[in-house]
């Protein structure tokens, strides 16, 4: 069988802060932002002044936007843009053109990673996550948009991707045949990762809590299907917590100093909760962080409890809960305790039934896009009438910074 007759499973999602794409053992991440490109003369000037030794494509990426007939900077490169746009706003895709540029960027970068390994990414099946706030109607519209912006050759559809490494002034154009695209709600990717790992392909009712930068998502999966009536996303993520802490610091400095939320965000993974406020010394925001995470965890717990009551009235129950996302490390213990308290479970039962992404062997920030790759793999197996291969291992993480 020719190489381009083999359909390769790929997963992707556009998160509020970072977009993730997965193929094989590789996950890549870049900021969910695009921006206007510099003029050609300004780009030349920037290259002469650029002293960065990081000339990787993911750090210096521009993608040609056919709808605008112009280059668009993607991710880290948008720091040179005069005007930037985030792919999503309050859990919704802001602009289909920009979202399509993001998909092209993710696939192009994956193409390069596979190329390094001597592998081809000529023909793919794409599993793609979209937020629950869109609803099924928008999923269909976005899927139709993608199909309308592809090149048809007979019954085959191709993505033509033109990309530029701005630092190297190198342009490449590739084409990828899209065999199929299956879309699901973002948090469903975590369920697929559990299905292929901990569940060993057995179906278990699962309640996913996905805590991200700008939103948190709840998605119950009953009998392998997303329970749409109880699924939702809320504009209260880690950004809400850092924004509130930044405001308190601003007020305590008599409105003299505003600490950028990004500086607070950078300290969270290392548990460094002290920050210097100019003219006011070192501010320890650990108590504020405790207060703010307690408030968000309580809100999550209240909504989970309401959903459990609704499911119980239907004669349904949840076997496992899983807490994922970039904010999971901050809120996991509190949300886990709230769930255990609601059911009155002893600690050993709580530990068994409230899971983190370690149950799947994948980082909580990447689990959804990995799951969507597995969703595409499952679709390929069904199309061929074969058993799906459940094993997977992520060993290569590619980031822009």
Which whole-number Å values give the CA distances from 70 to 35, 58, 78, 263, 338, in the listed order? 11, 19, 14, 33, 50
Residue 196 lies in a domain: no
Tens of pLDDT, residue by residue over 19-40, are 999 999 999 999 999 999 999 9
Residues 373 and 349 in one domain: no
Residues 334 and 395 in one domain: no
Provide the number of structural domains found in the chain: 2
**pLDDT above 70 as % of the chain:** 96
- Helix ranges (DSSP H) in 123-187: 135-148
- Choice among 5-14, 45-54, 172-181, 290-299 with the minimum mean pLDDT: 45-54
Mean pLDDT calculated for residue range 246-273:
78
Tens of pLDDT, residue by residue over 314-352, are 999 999 999 999 889 899 999 999 999 999 999 999 999
CATH label of the domain that carries residue 120: 3.30.420.40
Residues 369 and 351 in one domain: no
Residues 220 and 307 in one domain: yes
Residue 375 lies in a domain: yes
**How sure is the predictor about 300, in pLDDT bands with cuts at 50, 70 and 90?**
very high
Which whole-number Å values give the CA distances from 6 to 84, 111, 152, 176, in the listed order? 37, 15, 19, 12
Other C-beta atoms closer than 10 Å to the C-beta of 54 total 12
Residues 368 and 315 in one domain: no
Determine contact, residues 91/215, Cβ cutoff 8 Å: yes
Residues 22 and 135 in one domain: yes
d(CA 372, CA 82): 34
Q: Which of 10, 9, 28, 25 is nearest to 365 (CA)?
A: 28
Determine contact, residues 5/384, Cβ cutoff 8 Å: no
d(CA 92, CA 185): 12
pTM for the full model?
A: 0.91
Q: According to the model, what pLDDT value does residue 135 have?
A: 59
Neighbouring residues of 266: CB distance < 8 A, sequence distance ≥ 6: none
d(CA 219, CA 209): 7
Residues 375 and 315 in one domain: no
Tokens read off for 353: 């039934």
Residue 350 lies in a domain: yes
Residue 388 lies in a domain: yes
Residue 281 lies in a domain: yes
| Best mean pLDDT range from 82-86, 168-172, 241-245 | 168-172
d(CA 237, CA 246): 15
Residues 120 and 208 in one domain: no
Residues 53 and 163 in one domain: yes
Residue 382 lies in a domain: yes
| pLDDT above 80 (res 88) | no
Residue 161 lies in a domain: yes
Tens of pLDDT, residue by residue over 188-205, are 999 999 999 999 999 999
Residues 241 and 300 in one domain: yes
Residue whose tokens read 């965890």: 297
Residues 169 and 123 in one domain: yes
Q: Which domain holds residue 122?
A: 3-189+363-399
Tens of pLDDT, residue by residue over 369-387, are 999 999 999 999 999 999 9
Tens of pLDDT, residue by residue over 261-270, are 777 877 887 7
């Amino acid at each position: 069988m020719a190489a381009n007759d083999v359909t390769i499973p790929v997963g992707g999602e556009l998160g509020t802060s970072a977009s993730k794409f997965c193929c094989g053992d590789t996950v890549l991440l870049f900021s969910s932002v695009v921006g206007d490109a510099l003029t050609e003369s300004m780009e030349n000037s920037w290259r002469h002044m650029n002293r960065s030794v990081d000339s990787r494509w993911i750090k210096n990426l521009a993608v040609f936007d056919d709808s605008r007939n112009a280059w668009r900077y993607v991710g880290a490169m948008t720091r040179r843009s005069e005007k930037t746009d985030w792919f999503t706003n309050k859990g919704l895709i802001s602009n289909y053109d920009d979202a399509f540029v993001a998909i092209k960027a993710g696939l192009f970068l994956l193409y390069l990673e596979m190329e390094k390994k001597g592998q081809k990414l000529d023909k793919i099946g794409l599993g793609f996550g979209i937020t629950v706030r869109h609803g099924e109607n928008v999923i269909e519209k976005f899927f139709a948009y993608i199909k309308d912006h592809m090149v048809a050759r007979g019954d085959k559809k191709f993505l033509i991707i033109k990309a530029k490494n701005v630092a190297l002034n190198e342009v490449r154009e590739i084409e990828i045949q899209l065999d199929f695209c299956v879309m699901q709600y973002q948090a469903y990717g975590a369920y697929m990762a559990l299905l292929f790992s901990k569940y060993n392909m057995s179906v278990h009712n699962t309640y996913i809590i996905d805590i991200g930068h700008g939103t948190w998502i709840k998605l119950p999966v009953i009998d392998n299907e997303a329970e749409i009536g109880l699924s939702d996303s809320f504009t209260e993520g880690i950004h809400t917590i850092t924004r509130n802490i930044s405001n308190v610091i601003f007020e305590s400095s008599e409105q003299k100093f505003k600490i950028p939320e990004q500086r607070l965000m950078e300290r969270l993974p290392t548990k460094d909760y002290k920050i210097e406020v100019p003219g006011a010394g070192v501010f320890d925001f650990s108590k504020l962080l405790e207060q703010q995470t307690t408030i968000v965890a309580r809100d999550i717990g209240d909504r989970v409890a309401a959903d459990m009551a609704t499911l119980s009235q239907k004669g349904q129950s949840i076997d496992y809960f899983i807490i994922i996302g970039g904010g999971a490390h901050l809120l996991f213990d509190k949300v886990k305790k709230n769930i255990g308290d609601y059911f009155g479970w002893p600690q050993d039962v709580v530990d068994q039934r409230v899971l983190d992404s370690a149950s799947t062997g994948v980082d909580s920030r990447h689990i959804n896009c990995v799951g969507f790759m597995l969703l595409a793999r499952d679709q390929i197996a069904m199309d061929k009438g074969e058993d799906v291969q459940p094993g997977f291992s992520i060993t290569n993480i590619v980031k822009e910074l």
